[in-house]
Amino acid sequence: MSERREATASSPVPGGAGVPFGAPALRAPRLPRRRGQAWVAVAFLAPGMIGFVLFILTPLFGSAFISLFDWKLFGSPDFIGFDNYVKLFRDPTFYTVLGNTLIFAIVYTALNLVVALTISLWLNTRMKAAGAWRVIFFLPVITPMVANALVWRLLLSQDGLVNSMLATVGIDGPNWLSDSAWALPSVIAMSVWQSFGYNVIVLSAGLSAIPKELLEASRIDGTSAWQRLRFIILPLLSPSLFFCSTMTMIGAFQVFVQPLFLTQGGPGESTNTFVLYLYRNGFVFDRLGYASALAWILFLVVMLITALQFVGQRRWVNYE
């Protein structure tokens, strides 16, 4: 009986000739397979990485190089070091356009979030055809901005539809786009109308993720609508609000089409923004080096404000 056990223990197993029973099975090396998987990953990443290098990194470092030169669009460049940056901070128009852009970014972001949050809360009240309303609010986002700007220019002209409607109730409307007091608010209003639909979609998704049990329990406890908004909805919606505020602020600093087609930066410099001033220096005034210096200052300003937003979100954003 013991001889049979010894023979069984020492007999080879199928697929493992010469390996005693109970011994650990030897695994074939997987190095070739891992190399194959790595090459597959490289093949999938290559198109995106090539595009990133060609269309983002190369222009980024190229603009830094150009900013060190007095570079005409059609002419030989002259190396001037950091003179473009020195000239920039001595340029009074630079501070004007920076102030206009800051005012636009702050007011536009605040109004955008308030309008988007209000509409999202309204759509979240189990109303009928909520999906259709979301599509309607999102339509301006996917409509070409140039076309929207031209339509708004017609609406806000001296004899446009807006002033005609105001005249029916006895109000003499201003020249919205030619009055320095109303030009920037008009650009902000058009920009909010153009883009708030995107934030409506994001905030609606965040609201739909809030557990209904919490809201029902709070209603049973006798909380008011304001208390539910302040202590339940807004804290749970804070990640979505942070995302919307960050992306909206970044986009606000890049505003270009609206002032270009609505007011051409006027009257005076009242609606001249950073990117519009950058564009004119590069392609109208033929100062590519100075325009590149402006682009780098804009990059640093946006990066600083975004970093401050990420630092501040630790105090009010709730990820739990």
The whole-number pLDDT of residue 34 equals 72
**Domain limits of the chain?**
85-316
Strongest mean pLDDT among 16-30, 159-173, 238-252, 305-319: 238-252
The whole-number pLDDT of residue 8 equals 47
**Per-residue pLDDT tens over the stretch 170-206:** 999 899 999 999 999 999 999 999 999 999 999 999 9
Looking at residue 226, its amino acid is: W
Minimum mean pLDDT among 22-36, 126-140, 144-158, 190-204: which range? 22-36
Instruction: 63-66: list long-range contacts, CB under 8 Å, 24+ apart.
Output: 63/292, 63/295, 63/296, 64/292, 64/296, 66/288, 66/289, 66/292
Is the Cα dihedral 257, 258, 262, 267 positive or negative?
Answer: negative
Determine the average pLDDT of the residues in 94-115: 97
* Average pLDDT of the chain, as a whole number: 88
The whole-number pLDDT of residue 156 equals 94
**Per-residue pLDDT tens over the stretch 208-248:** 999 989 889 999 988 898 999 999 999 999 999 999 999 99
Q: Is the pTM of this model over 0.95?
A: no
The whole-number pLDDT of residue 37 equals 82
**Per-residue pLDDT tens over the stretch 57-76:** 999 999 999 999 999 878 78
The whole-number pLDDT of residue 13 equals 46
Region class of 52: left (phi > 0), else alpha (psi between -120 and 50), else beta: alpha
The whole-number pLDDT of residue 9 equals 45
Closest by Cα among 200, 177, 189 to 124: 200
CATH number at 85-316:
1.10.3720.10
